[in-house]
Homo-oligomer: A and B are copies of this chain.
């Protein structure tokens, strides 16, 4: 877990353990392979060319991304098979950018409305490579996505617009519960809604070959055959939320924020130079505090500001001294990565590399 941390780190800084990272990547690749799933990891969780490269070398088919600018960033570093797993709305500028991408890489795009599909069709008409389309289905998180019975209407509009409708996808956000039952229920919802939507599209004569699901929590929960593609993101690093819901162990944590103790106001309390501008302020109701402290597992970050994290310790637990460097595992890894310009790669207490966060801030 990138511990021990190197001496003399300029904190705050994000630190990656490349061996844990590779273990996480290879294990997910092996799970997918052995269970017959195509793996298309979500790159929003790392935004980093070197990590994308590792995922692809270990057998990922391509990457998922959330925005056109994330796709552009990964295309620039050589990734040539990208799924924008988002119902992009194309104005004139985005239509042009998407068309350039479609000329350069194998591109898949999400749709969930008739008008969105028509705009996409217009944008990529005659592109060098045909753009593949997946219809987004709401499997229970009530974010974007059509109800399964409405998939046919959107799929027909996409086909009529000249697009190659190849599949369906969903985000099982309601699988982020605090118990295994929540994950299992979400997986059942995914199977059922994706299955119904795929059938509605097949009834139109479309060749539906991609049934894409899964975030990190629901991977491994599916019945054989119901889903054939995975899009987990967080698993590369894991985080304090995954630890709390039990989808990873401490040994699977591949990224920490290194922080300096700037204040020890009381024996049961110390303050670190990290905060919401370093790792965000995401906190699910089932997570205690604003991060996990591997060196002080009984400690809890009870107060968080932009550059201050106040840690409370139980009575009798000895805290670190002023000036010490302490590791914090963030609650939700997708946020800190997007706040940093680079990741330090550390093995055995030495910085061995620095990786640029290629797609930081790529929101459009």
Contact pick for A113, options B86, B263, B278, CB 8 Å: B263
What separation, in Å, do the CA atoms of A277 and B281 have in the docked complex?
A: 11
Whether the Cβ atoms of B8 and A144 lie closer than 8 Å is: no
Whether the Cβ atoms of B86 and A307 lie closer than 8 Å is: yes
User: Is A267 located at the chain interface by the 8 A CB criterion?
Assistant: no
Contact with B along A71-96 (1 / 0, CB 8 A): 00000000000000011110111100
Contact pick for A144, options B67, B262, B276, CB 8 Å: B262
What separation, in Å, do the CA atoms of A39 and B66 have in the docked complex?
A: 42
Closest to A67 in B: B307
What residues of chain B lie closer than 8 Å to A142, measured between beta carbons?
A: 265, 303, 310
Number of interface residues of A (CB under 8 A): 58
Asked whether A12 and B143 contact (CB < 8 A) given A115-B322, A306-B334, A322-B116, the answer is no
What residues of chain B lie closer than 8 Å to A306, measured between beta carbons?
A: 44, 66, 334-335, 338
Asked whether A262 and B10 contact (CB < 8 A) given A276-B280, A340-B361, A341-B361, the answer is no
Whether the Cβ atoms of B277 and A335 lie closer than 8 Å is: yes
Asked whether A308 and B144 contact (CB < 8 A) given A89-B273, A280-B276, the answer is yes
Whether the Cβ atoms of B143 and A271 lie closer than 8 Å is: yes
Whether the Cβ atoms of A112 and B276 lie closer than 8 Å is: no
Whether the Cβ atoms of A10 and B260 lie closer than 8 Å is: no
User: Is A363 located at the chain interface by the 8 A CB criterion?
Assistant: yes
Closest to A12 in B: B363
User: Is A210 located at the chain interface by the 8 A CB criterion?
Assistant: no
Contact with B along A144-175 (1 / 0, CB 8 A): 11100000000000000000000000000100
CB distance from A233 to the nearest CB of B (A): 10
What residues of chain B lie closer than 8 Å to A173, measured between beta carbons?
A: 305
What separation, in Å, do the CA atoms of A58 and B92 have in the docked complex?
A: 40
Asked whether A364 and B115 contact (CB < 8 A) given A262-B89, A338-B277, the answer is no
What residues of chain B lie closer than 8 Å to A271, measured between beta carbons?
A: 143-144
Whether the Cβ atoms of A305 and B143 lie closer than 8 Å is: yes
- List residues of A (302-316) whose CB comes within 8 Å of B's CBs: 303, 305-308, 310
User: Is A323 located at the chain interface by the 8 A CB criterion?
Assistant: yes
User: Is A2 located at the chain interface by the 8 A CB criterion?
Assistant: no
Whether the Cβ atoms of B364 and A66 lie closer than 8 Å is: no
Binding site for B on A (CB under 8 A): 8, 10-13, 44, 66-67, 86-89, 91-94, 112-113, 115-116, 138, 142-146, 173, 260-265, 271, 273, 276-278, 280-282, 303, 305-308, 310, 322-323, 334-335, 338-341, 361, 363-364
10 contacts between A and B (CB under 8 A): A88-B262, A89-B262, A89-B322, A115-B322, A142-B265, A144-B263, A145-B265, A277-B335, A277-B338, A277-B363
